[in-house]
Structure 1
Amino acid sequence: MVIGGIFMKKKMEAICPYCFTKLVKSKVFFKCCKETFPSKSISKMKGNCKSCKKTTTTRICGHCTAELPYTFGLQKEVVISVIGAKEAGKSHYIGVLLNKIMNEMGMAFHCALQPLSDETIRRYREDFHNPLFKNKETLQVTMSARSDKKVQRPLLYNLSFFGKNIFGKKVIKSVITLAFFDTAGEDMNDEDTMATVNKYIYNSSGIIFLLDPLQITEVRERLEGKIPLPYQNSEVEDLLSRTANLIKKGRDILPNQLINIPVAVSFSKMDALDDIIDGSSIVKNNSPHIESQAINKQDFEDVHHQMQNYITRFGGGHFISQINANFINYSCFGISALGSNPKDAKITNTLQPRRVEDPFLWLLWKNKIIS
Structure 2
Amino acid sequence: LRELRGQLAELVRRHNPLPSAYCDSPGRIVALVGAKNAGKSTYIAVLLHELMNRVGTELDASLVACDDRTIERYKRDFARPLLEERRLLPTTASAATSPREPLVYLLTRTRRNRFARARNDSLALVLFDTAGEDLRSREVTDLHLRYLEAADAVIFLVDPLELPGARPGLRDAVPAPRVPGEDPDSEPLNVIARVTDTLRGRHGTRPGEPLPVPVAVALTKMDALRPDLLRQSALHRTRSGAGVLDLDDREAVHEQVRALLHDWQAGQLDTYLGQQYADHAFFALSALGGVPEDGRVGAGGVRPHRAEDPLLWLLYRFGMLDGVRPEGE
Q: Is the 8 A contact 1:84 1:210 kept in 2?
A: yes
Aligned equivalent of 1:307: 257
| Correspondence for 1:161 among 97, 109, 114 | 109
Bigger proportion of residues as strand: 1
Query: Please, which moves more after superposition, 82-91 or 177-186?
Result: 177-186
Give the direction of change, closer, same or farther, for the CA distance of 1:254–1:133 in structure 2 (3 Å limit).
same
Matched letter for residue 156 of structure 1: V
| Correspondence for 2:303 among 329, 345, 352 | 352
| Correspondence for 1:129 among 63, 66, 79 | 79
TM-score (norm 1): 0.76
Cα offset for 1:195? Answer: 5.0
Give the direction of change, closer, same or farther, for the CA distance of 1:77–1:182 in structure 2 (3 Å limit).
farther
Cα offset for 1:161? Answer: 2.3
Q: Is the 8 A contact 1:16 1:68 kept in 2?
A: no
Matched letter for residue 342 of structure 1: P
Give the direction of change, closer, same or farther, for the CA distance of 1:99–1:166 in structure 2 (3 Å limit).
same
Bigger proportion of residues as helix: 2
Q: Aligned residue pairs: how many?
A: 314
Calculate percent identity across the aligned residue pairs: 29
Give the direction of change, closer, same or farther, for the CA distance of 1:250–1:192 in structure 2 (3 Å limit).
farther
Bigger RCO of structures 1 and 2 (CA < 8 A, at least 6 apart): 2
Q: Is the 8 A contact 1:336 1:355 kept in 2?
A: yes
CA distance in 2, matches of 1:242, 1:333: 21
User: Root-mean-square deviation (CA), in Å?
Assistant: 2.9
| Correspondence for 1:317 among 267, 286, 289 | 267
| Correspondence for 1:187 among 130, 134, 145 | 134
Query: Please, which moves more after superposition, 85-94 or 253-262?
Result: 253-262
Give the direction of change, closer, same or farther, for the CA distance of 1:319–1:292 in structure 2 (3 Å limit).
same
Aligned equivalent of 2:151: 204
Matched letter for residue 207 of structure 1: V
Q: Is the 8 A contact 1:115 1:158 kept in 2?
A: yes
CA distance in 2, matches of 1:293, 1:216: 33
Q: Is the 8 A contact 1:160 1:172 kept in 2?
A: no
Q: Please list the CA deviations of residues 288-337 of structure 1 after superposition, one character each: whole Å capped at 9, or x if unmatched.
A: 2xx22212122111111111111111111222111111111000000000
Aligned equivalent of 2:90: 140
Q: Which has the greater radius of gyration?
A: 1
CA distance in 2, matches of 1:172, 1:71: 19
Aligned equivalent of 1:53: none
Q: Is the 8 A contact 2:107 2:122 kept in 1?
A: yes
Aligned equivalent of 2:223: 271
CA distance in 2, matches of 1:174, 1:222: 41
CA distance in 2, matches of 1:94, 1:348: 18
Aligned equivalent of 1:117: 67
CA distance in 2, matches of 1:357, 1:344: 27
